[in-house]
């Protein structure tokens, strides 16, 4: 409200424009009585059991339910496992309001799609996926996002939209693990993997370049695939690709330390009491997010 942004991708001038247009932020839940659309964007960290901690989602749903009216639209954007919108959010909204989702109010899921620090793609020009509890719910959500997003893609339902987000991040998670494991044995074989990747990336089809690093940082890639693994395990078997990728990426920090120790040894120095300079502490250049790094 003072015109200052704490978010990397939103600058103070943009906040100023929003305030001039009538935007205000508030912690007063009674303002929800005058809102027609409620979008839930809350953290979904991993629980001690390895599944998503939906405490914040449930809290938001309980709050919204107290102020839900006929014709309102509720959208969940927080990343979670397939089925959350219908199995967790919907009952809380219905029980707290006495209204029926898909009949009295609209309910949808639309995954967040933000690439922090990307100067080319933002909210407006990144296609927005929308999955509604009913076709009417999907149309209502698509109409909302269509006001400020260039392309809205309607999924078959909420579960498909939830799965799309996890599929995107699992794809990256598995491919990062692939090159991380390659980095280990390419070092032993005397192969410059980065040069091999650059060469492979000249192929104009069928290949996307992923590059190794000291693990995986940020909230999405190291966390989100575990939601899917959690859901699959409820069926009685493991999601082996995800769990193997997690194992490979989790051991990369130790590998980096071992490589540093080897380099010090070649100069006759011990790791103990050595001065180590870390460059690029965040998981991505020019952003402030240090989560999981």
Active site amino acids? 220
CB 4 within 8 A of CB 12: yes
User: Are 173 and 249 contacting, i.e. CB atoms less than 8 angstroms apart?
Assistant: yes
Q: What is the dihedral of CA 219, 221, 226, 229, to 10 degrees?
A: 160
- Can you give the chain as a three-state secondary structure string? CCCCCCCCCCCHHHHHHHHHCCCCCCCCHHHHHHCCEEEECCCCCECCCCCECCHHHHHHHHHHHCCCCCCCEEEECCCCCCCHHHHHHHHHHHHHHCCCECCCEEEEECCCCCCCCCCCCCCCCCCEEEEECCHHHHHHHHHHHCCCCCCEEECCCHHHHHHHHHHHHHHHHHHHHHHHHHHHHHHHHCCCHHHHHHHHCCCCCCCCCCCCCCCCCCCCCCCHHHHHHHHHHCCCCCCHHHHHHHHHHHCHHHHHHHHHHHHHHHCCCCCCCCCCCCCCCCCCCCCCCCCCC
């Amino acid at each position: 409200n003072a015109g200052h942004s704490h978010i990397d991708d939103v600058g103070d001038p943009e906040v100023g424009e929003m305030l001039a247009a009538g935007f205000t932020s508030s912690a007063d839940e009674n303002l929800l009585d005058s809102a027609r659309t409620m979008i839930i964007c809350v953290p979904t960290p991993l629980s001690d059991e390895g599944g998503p901690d939906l405490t914040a989602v449930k809290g938001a749903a309980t709050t919204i339910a107290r102020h839900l009216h006929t014709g309102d639209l509720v959208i969940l954007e927080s990343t979670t496992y397939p089925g959350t919108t219908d199995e967790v959010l919907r009952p809380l909204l219905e029980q707290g309001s006495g209204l029926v989702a898909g009949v009295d109010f609209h309910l949808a899921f639309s995954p967040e799609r933000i690439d922090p620090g990307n100067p080319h793609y933002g909210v407006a020009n990144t296609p927005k996926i929308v999955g509604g509890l009913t076709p009417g719910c999907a149309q209502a959500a698509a109409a909302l996002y269509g006001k400020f997003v260039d392309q809205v893609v309607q999924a078959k339902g909420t579960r498909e939209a939830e799965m799309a987000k996890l599929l995107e991040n699992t794809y990256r998670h598995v491919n990062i693990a692939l090159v991380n494991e390659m980095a280990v044995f390419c070092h032993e074989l005397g192969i410059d993997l980065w040069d091999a990747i650059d060469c492979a990336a000249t192929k104009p089809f069928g290949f996307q370049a992923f590059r190794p690093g000291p693990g995986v940082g940020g909230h999405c890639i190291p966390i989100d695939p575990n939601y899917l693994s959690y859901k699959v395990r409820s069926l009685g078997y493991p999601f082996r690709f995800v769990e193997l990728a997690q194992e490979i990426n989790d051991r990369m920090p130790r590998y980096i330390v071992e490589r540093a120790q080897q380099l010090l040894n070649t100069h006759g120095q011990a790791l103990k009491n050595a001065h180590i300079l870390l460059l690029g502490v965040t998981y991505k250049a020019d952003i402030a997010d240090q989560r999981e790094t």
